[in-house]
Structure 1
Amino acid sequence: MADPKAVFEKYDVNQDGTMCSKELEAALKDMEISASPEFLKEIMAQYDKDKNGSLEFHEFKKVIADMKAIQVATVADVRDLFKSFDKDGSGYIEKAELREVLTVLGVGNDEHTVQAMIAAADTNNDGRVSIIEFSRIIGHGDE
């Protein structure tokens, strides 16, 4: 993955020292990370700590660090992570389970955030996330 500073400078098109969601989308695409509109909103909501509607370099650098961590995760790591979310062992991550994990992590767990995260992963629109859908989001295909 490219140097975060170089990517930030390349995609901060208006050179204002911040990255809006359109610039972020282009930067992620260049790094071969596809992001749905819902996922982009979620990234902005989670990483824009000062809530000014854009990412400064230190916020963008955190996005890149987290994306790198996801990319190096093994298939076994993904399965273990899925199991930690799937509290009832049903084979699906339900909204309540996701909310519980987000609470423990100290991440936004309001209805909008939970719904956006489910929507980003839930390709068959059944309102929950299967291991296959989860693997696609994390980057390990149909594992």
Structure 2
Amino acid sequence: MQHSYFNQDVPDVVIKSFFKKYDADNSGFLDKKELSSLLEDDLGLTAAQVEVYIYLLDEDGDAKISSDEFCAWLRSNERFSMVDNSSRYYRVSKAVELFKKYDRDGSQSISCEEFTNLLTEMGYNVDFDAAFEALDADGNGTISFPEFLKWLNWVP
């Protein structure tokens, strides 16, 4: 992969310029199509790997990535460890499949109703509202994939 040139020494302005290259509509965010183009074309990820990263980068489940989120991620210690470690990648891929199964409206987040369906189908008999509130760490009324992944506790 061609991702080794992103490290702590690369100035933010370079990363933001790289980001802007793919922000085709000048919205200040990368949507799914724009992010896919960036991750596949310049960073060399496969389509399947891109799908996983789209969910991982969308911290709030709003289906878009800001330049600050993108810059922070490139500077993080993650360093594409999800795709470089086959067992972690497999678990995250399975988590994405499960998440998509219950994200019935395709919003890239799980609503309280969708979460209740998930718990019911898994046989849980709990206070659904309290469970939902516990997972919705940012309090935005939905469960993003990172919040879901943390709840699953499948990936160290």
TM-score of Structure 1 vs Structure 2, range by shorter chain:
0.3 to 0.5
Which structure has more relative contact order (CA 8 Å, sep 6+)? It is: 2
Scaled by the length of structure 2, what TM-score is found?
A: 0.41
**Structure of greater Rg:** 2
